[in-house]
Amino acid sequence: MERFVTHELGDHDGGRISPVASVTTLDIHVRAHVLVLYTGGTVGMMPGENGYDIRADCFEPFVRSIPLFHDKLLDVSADTESYSHLGLPEPLALPCTGSGQRRIVYTIKEYSPLLDSSNMDMDDWVLITQDIKHYYQHFDGFVILHGTDTMAYTASALSFMLENLGKTVILTGSQIPISETRSDGIDNFLGALMIAGTYPIPEVTLYFHGKLLRGNRAAKCSSDALAAFNSMNIQPLALAGVRIVVEWDLIHRPTTTAKFDVHTKLEPRVGVLRLFPGIASETVRQFLAPPLRGCVLQTYGVGNAPSNREDILKALHEATERDVLIVNCTQCVHGGVVDSYAVGKTLVKAGLISGSDMTLEAALTKLAYVLGKQALSHQERRKLMHDNLRGELTVNLGQLALDDSQFILKVAQVIGVSTGQELKKVGSALFPSLLLAAARSGDIRLMKELFRQGADANTSDADLRSPLHVACAEGHTDMVRYLLERGASVYARDRFGRMPLQDAIWGKHADVVQLLRKTGAHLQLGTAELAHELTAAVFSEHSVSSLEMWCLAGADFNVSDHFGMSPLHTCVMKKDAAAVAYLLSLRVDTQMKNEWGNRPLDEAKRLDCTEIAKLLEEYQES
């Protein structure tokens, strides 16, 4: 499009464009069209009798009067006509901002009523998505002017509701009304318009104070700083310094060929529960009671909850049994949930889903979105919560393999192999780590897929750990059963001679121990070796439950180590009366003598352990 235009520069140009007062130029710029949805918030407030208030029909005329926002000499008659066909107000045009920039033509659709964002709810998110859908074909990008208070919630919700998004959607607003001389709204709005009209970033983003953040990673972190938003677990997608620099590698893109659409059904019966030391189990139970269908549980550190609070764990378990989706998110502003801590693992056992490093806003709106998908089964919803849908969470590497059953094929494509034989080689190089990753997460679907692609159940890694070792250590009973059915050997030994049964024992997974025993697994340990294992069990944190596992696995407790110490001797030396009582209940031999000729009772007397000595004497008399 070529056309002569005149720029008239006024007071508000801020030195951003040529200081020449009036200049005739050839407009050779391609036009980009941006739709602005003005929903309310501080950004559009005007001074009134009682301070600032949100007034209808004031924002657009105000913006139109500022040359920075509108080049009134650009001929927009053709755009005016096409916008009016769409039922949209007359366009505005940003002035030229330098060579290579596109001419950004935009129009502002004002919502009625304009809202303080604290008054917005899920229906308002639906209205926004419907507008984007309605005008999708006609615009290159969308800017949503929004109050800052709940902007991160809206950004997160929209990121899920706008499915297979291919265009740029940016939320922005300001801490100071744009009508003020010193307002952050000017830069925020201008920056958002320029990015939306220039860069095809197919994400819902949030632009504030020179940073373009992924919407579902952003959180309001200050009520008064102009840098009010941050995304703690991912760097900004773009930074507006002297130049606008987009981090293209970070941009999340839909990977399907499906068309853009919006999902407008959301489940409002979701909530957030924050743990604190001493929280009453009634509070937890009441909170999780029907009609609640989804909950973000804010836990400590890397996703920990008190493992000594059976009452709370029970309340959580009861809720997940009723198919309430509970997502474990950290209370920390930076970092996320990892499943490696024992206390965190108890939450996995209670049926919680790891929220990885999702923000509270992302986790909550994702729950509303996923629960709103009525055609999905409970398991499918759980999987979606776990998956990275719009860049809202970091998938750990194990899961990266697990989430993608075509993983090997994709890797092969990336490194450019072409023949079936080459593909097979790639597969065998990758199978050990993929099989172990599938076993670690208990993903039977992927395990099946790996077998389908030629993997063998008895493949092991460099330490000779097989998928069965790993599944037993993690306590994934169904996976263990599946592997056994696929021919995994219960007698496989790793580099340290350890068999899967020992992994199950040390993981204290009673179901797995029983299943292995049923399949014929037994302890193949020499006497001294078994005695050492039992000594370690006695010295572990919960000696009785550790010994119980060994008992379940069929261990003989009448064994002794190189010093003639039987497990009973060791319990006495440790002064562990509970463990002594447990071993006595198994009717172990109390007359074994150690290297120094002492029976357990002799040692108890020597150590002045009257309680234990009494237990042993009573037992011997009975």
Site residues, ligand ASP (CB under 6 A) = 40-42, 116-118, 147-149, 173, 175
Cα 378 from Cα 327, distance rounded (Å): 14
Q: Does residue 310 come out as left (phi exceeding 0), alpha (psi in the -120 to 50 range) or beta?
A: alpha
Q: Which is nearer to ligand ASP, 38 or 506 (CB)?
A: 38
Residue 11 DSSP class: G
Nearer to ligand ASP, 184 or 561 (CB): 184
The counts of H helices and E strands in the chain are: 24, 21
C-alpha closest to that of 32 among 110, 96, 127, 111: 96
What is the nearest approach in angstroms of ligand ASP to the Cβ of residue 220? 9
Structural contact between residues 588 and 566, judged by C-beta atoms closer than 8 angstroms:
yes
Q: How far is the CB of 44 from ligand ASP (least distance, A)?
A: 9
Closest to ligand ASP by CB, 148 or 359: 148
Catalytic machinery residues: 42
Tokens of 141: 């990008």
Q: Which is nearer to ligand ASP, 44 or 141 (CB)?
A: 44
Amino acid, res. 574: K
Report residue 474: phi and psi, to 5°.
-85, -15
Summarize the chain as % helix, strand, coil (round to 5): 40, 15, 45
Pick the closer one to ligand ASP by CB: 117 or 543: 117
Closest approach, Cβ 88 to ligand ASP, in A, equals 24
Residue closer to ligand ASP by CB (options 44, 567) is 44
Adjacent-strand bridge partners of 163:
261
Residue 39 C-beta: closest distance to ligand ASP, Å: 9
Q: Minimum Å distance from CB 154 to ligand ASP?
A: 10
Q: Is 601 within 8 Å of 589 (Cβ atoms)?
A: no
Minimum distance from CB of 189 to ligand ASP (Å)? 13
Q: Which residue is nearest to ligand ASP (CB)?
A: 147
Q: Strand locations in 254-358, DSSP E?
A: 261-262, 270-274, 294-299, 325-330, 353-354
Using alpha carbons, select from 349, 330, 308 the residue that is nearest to residue 508: 349
How far is Cα 321 from Cα 313, in angstroms, rounded to an integer? 12
Closest CA to 518 of 472, 464, 481: 481
